[in-house]
Structure 1
Amino acid sequence: MSILVYCILFAFVQTGSHASEFRVGGKNGWVVPNNTNTLNYSDWAGRNRFQVGDSLVFVYNPSEDSVLQVSEGDYKSCSTSDPIASFKDGKTVFKLSQTGPVYFISGASGHCQKSQKLHVIVLSIRGGTPSSSSSPRSAVAPALQLAGFMCGFLLSLCGFIL
């Protein structure tokens, strides 16, 4: 009987698929990495799990910077001449609408060459329609989803036996 109670409680804790907002670069925002802020956009992107429906929030000084969505080739070469999309508002919210890689670079001269660029991989939604949420998912979420599934299975089994 105690396993039944545990599973019921765990089912309430289990996380589902919710859309999240990710502030690009964390508290530093969209800035040129340097010796004092040790920001690395590749490391930042690697610590997060992005899914369709999530949003990236770029926060920057609009008089000094911008955000360009670019092709993989333009990302690698830091070319600003033919962006897919261009943003200059200081707080750009970019909704991730499809799976696959997405590339961004700074539109300010020389910033991309100083590693102000971002490449994210967008995964498909698992388990339903995205809803509003402010806390980003981490690599722990899949384990919680599996544990929730197992608890659901055990609950069904317990109901069948009882």
Structure 2
Amino acid sequence: MASHNICFLVSSLLLTTLFQIQTKVLCYQYKVGDLDAWGIPTSTNSQLYAKWSKFHNLTLGDSLLFLYPPSQDSVIQVTQESYKSCNIKDPILYMNNGNSLFNITSHGDFYFTSGVVGHCQKNQKIHISIGGNGNVDVEANSPTSLPANAPSYQTVFGNIPIAPSSSNSPHLASTFHVLIIGSIISIMFFALM
């Protein structure tokens, strides 16, 4: 009987240790524009970046990856006023290596556009909002956007599913795996008795 209690205690300690080791990683790197990358949107998909922003639930710790030919384009972070007027002078941040990464380290609104003259006017710009009401880029001249409950959005390569949301589903799945592993270890200990 004492060995049975010791086995239960050891398996409980192992299960507790597995819960403590488990980490919750909810940071993602998002390629801006997905398969379309960073460039001037086509006339048939002129609101590419507004749609992209709306259907990606970005949070603190996430990163934006802008991919583009470095000899032909760049990406700049600008103020809200510069974003609306497409003023590319005096940017907050200038990136031109073709593989530009922006880490989201604070709440707020972030505005990006191409650093090439004329590209912003052709809708090569994106507004990201972190915290509060989520990612919304609504302009007076925007066409009707997709419904909020749309499961995916259209690109030239087909539908792109929505990225993981801020729900606890990744955490629940990993907790479930830890419980299964802990149960298997407990059963093994009891079987050895």
Q: TM-score under structure 1 normalisation? A: 0.68
Q: What amino acid is aligned across from residue 83 of structure 2 in structure 1? A: Y
List per-residue Cα deviations over 1:86-107 (Å, max 9, x = no partner): 0010000110110111000001
Q: Give the deviation of 1:138 after TM superposition.
A: 2.7
8 Å CA contact retained: 1:51, 1:96:
yes
Deviation at 1:37, TM superposition (A): 5.9
Match of 2:169 in 1: 144
Aligned-pair RMSD on alpha carbons? 2.8
**Aligned match for 1:87, one of 95, 99, 103:** 95
Q: What one-letter code is carried by the residue in structure 1 that aligns with 2:131?
A: L
Answer 1 or 2: higher relative contact order, Cα 8 Å, separation at least 6: 1
Gaps of 5+ in 2: 1-22, 133-161, 177-193
Q: 1:143 to 1:18 in 2, by over 3 A?
A: closer
Whole-angstrom distance in 2 between the partners of 1:17 and 1:118: 26
- Ranges of 4+ aligned residues in structure 1 off by more than 3 Å: 35-39
Matched, 1:73 2:112: no
- Read off the aligned partner of 1:22 and give its amino acid letter: Y
The yes-or-no answer on 1:61 pairing with 2:86 is no
Which residue does the alignment assign to 1:103? 111
Contact 1:20 1:137 in 2 (8 A): no
Point out the structure with max Rg over C-alpha: 2
Q: What's the % identity of the aligned pairs?
A: 35
Structure 1 unaligned spans of 5+: 1-14, 125-135, 153-162
3-state SS of 2:82 partner = helix
Query: Is structure 2 residue 48 aligned with structure 1 residue 23?
Result: no
Distance (whole Å) between structure 2 residues aligned to residue 38 and residue 75 of structure 1: 16
**TM-score using structure 2 length:** 0.57
Q: State the one-letter code of the partner of 1:24.
A: V
Question: 1:47 touches 1:138 (CA, 8 Å); kept in 2?
Answer: no
